[in-house]
Amino acid sequence: MTGNEYRRLYAESPEKAYAALFKVYCDYVYAIVYNKLNRVAQREDIDECVSDIFADIFFSYKRNGEDYADLKAYIGTIAKRHAINSYRSLKLRSERFSGDSDEEFASFADDTDIETNSDDRETRSILISKINELGEPDSTIILQKYYYDRSSGEIAEMMSMKASAVRMRAARALEKLKKSLAAAGIML
C-alpha cells in the first residue's frame, strides 16, 4: 500500500483505511518491535507497543500532502522510534525492580482500592464507547482534543478542515457526549 492508496482509502472511509493499513503492515511493525524488545519485554508489552505505533501512524500521517510518499519507510521509522523508546522505558523499569528483597517492595505498597479502580475502568470503557458512537469526524476530534491535548489548528491540519470548523464540531460533539453519558448515568 502506498501513501496515495492510503489517502484515497481514507477519503472513502477512515475505518477501512485503518483496517487496511493494519492488515498490510502489522507483521512488518511486529517484526521491528519484536527485534527491539524481545529481551526485555513480555508479549503484552510488545502488543501494546504495536498498538501504540498504529494509533500514532493513523493520527499523524498527513493524508493530504506530498509528505511521506513512501508509506512503508514512514511506518518503519515510527515503529523503530517507538520500539527504542519502549526498550529504554522497560529496561529502566526492570533495573529498578531487579532486587528480590521484601524490603525493596515494601516501599511500593499502597492502599489501592480495587473496587474504585474497577469502577474507573468501567467508566472509561463507557466513555470510549460513547465517544465512538459520535461517529466521524466528531469522535476523532474529541479524542485528539481531550485525550492527546492537540489544538484545534493541529486537528484541523490533520483532518483537512478549518480550525473554526474543528472548534464548532468539538463543542457540538461535547454537548452530545454529555447528554449521552448522562443517559448512561455518568455525570461530568
Domains of the chain: 3-104 (1.10.1740), 115-183 (1.10.10.10)
Is the pLDDT assigned to residue 1 strictly greater than 50? Answer: yes
The whole-angstrom separation of Cα 54 and Cα 62 is 14
Mean pLDDT of the chain: 79
| 19 contact partners, CB below 8 Å, separation of at least 6 | none
- Phi, psi torsion values for 21, nearest 5 degrees: -60, -45
Residue 40 pLDDT: 83
Task: Grade residue 135 by pLDDT with cuts at 50, 70 and 90.
Answer: confident
For residues 30-52, give the mean pLDDT: 86
| 141 closest CA partner among 40, 19, 14 | 14
DSSP class per residue in 103-143? HHHHTT-----HHHHHHHHHHHHHHHHHHHHT-TTHHHHHI
The whole-angstrom separation of Cα 110 and Cα 94 is 20
Residue 64 pLDDT: 46
Residue 118 pLDDT: 60
Q: H helices within the chain, ranges in order?
A: 3-12, 14-37, 43-60, 71-96, 102-106, 114-133, 138-142, 152-159, 163-183
Residue 158 contacts residue 143 (beta carbons within 8 Å): no
For 140, the grid coordinates are: 476523532
Residue 112 pLDDT: 55
| 57 contact partners, CB below 8 Å, separation of at least 6 | 21, 74, 75, 78
Per-residue pLDDT tens digits for 95-129: 665 555 455 555 555 555 565 656 667 777 778 88
- Phi, psi torsion values for 187, nearest 5 degrees: -105, 135
Task: Grade residue 67 by pLDDT with cuts at 50, 70 and 90.
Answer: low
Residue 114 pLDDT: 60
Per-residue pLDDT tens digits for 138-157: 888 888 887 778 888 888 88
Residue 6 contacts residue 61 (beta carbons within 8 Å): yes
